[in-house]
Chain A
Amino acid sequence: MSSASGSPALTTAGFQVLLALASGHSHGYAVMGFVDQLTDGQVRLGPGTLYRTLARLVADELVSESEVSDPSAPHDARRRYYQLTPLGAQVVRDEAALLARLVDAAHTAGLLDGERRTT
């Protein structure tokens, strides 16, 4: 199923990887570390999930492998470099805006009392 705009639907892991890339983490290991740190270890992208998620985002043309990766290195998503495509940048922006609206509603509903409001 795709979103109403016709762009590919993102999995939770897909959004987290796009978010990491948008935050300047271009290396597979850095993506894993960013998500781990951001979520205080609640979300751990293992190497299998990272590989599948990146392969999927590349297939959907949301992410491309950047040229700084070493083509002679064994194929390991953690050791390669990735970047958002223009479509990926748009999709992660749209998804973030949608999530922000949902989080605003969660604040209004009192679900986040005691949590730090970040907006």
Chain B
Amino acid sequence: MTHQRPLGLGTHIFVSDADAAVAFYSEAFGAAELIRHCLPDGRVLFVELAVGPDKLLLSEEIKELNAVAPSTLGGSPVMLLLELEDVDTAFTHAVEMGATVEMPVAEMFWGERYGIVRDPFGHHWSLCTRREQLAPDEVADRVPPGPADGTWTG
């Protein structure tokens, strides 16, 4: 088999309410809607959002297409990573907008200030700000014994 070098990797998430999700991601995470396509019945087939330099595709739940939202599945095993200049302000704002704290913001051993929220549509987001540029060996020396209470802090 021959391997191609991929040209890009994007994220495509499914939500129960596309309009509410676009409003949340725009307000909480600074996303900008670029393109929207709807089915004839009005359901949102996909919205393309620009988030920083990257792209996030979002579809409304369309079960015929196996586009099933976390609220239907009972959770999501995926986390989206969002790097920001000021994680504390973004984290607080996301929670004010209706996100749920899964892990409060704290200094992490890998050199980031980092926290996790679950958005109102059931997707997990880790929010971070880079603090130190560490070499892999330096991070390895700092790894704590193990996570406690779902976090690495303490």
User: Which positions in A face B, CB cutoff 8 Å?
Assistant: 1-2, 6, 9, 11, 51-52, 55-56, 59-60
Contacts and interface: CB of A to CB of B under 8 A. Distances in A.
Contacts of A11: 53
B88 interface: no
18 contacts: A1-B52, A1-B83, A6-B85, A9-B52, A51-B35, A52-B34, A52-B35, A52-B50, A55-B32, A55-B34, A55-B35, A55-B50, A56-B32, A56-B34, A56-B50, A59-B32, A59-B34, A59-B50
A15 to B, nearest CB: 13
Contacts of A2: 52, 85
Most buried by A among B32, B35, B53, B85: B53
Nearest to A59: B32
A55 B52 CA distance: 13
Contacts of A55: 32, 34-35, 50
Interface in B1-43: 32, 34-35
A60 B31 CA distance: 10
Most buried by A among B34, B35, B48, B85: B34
A5 to B, nearest CB: 12
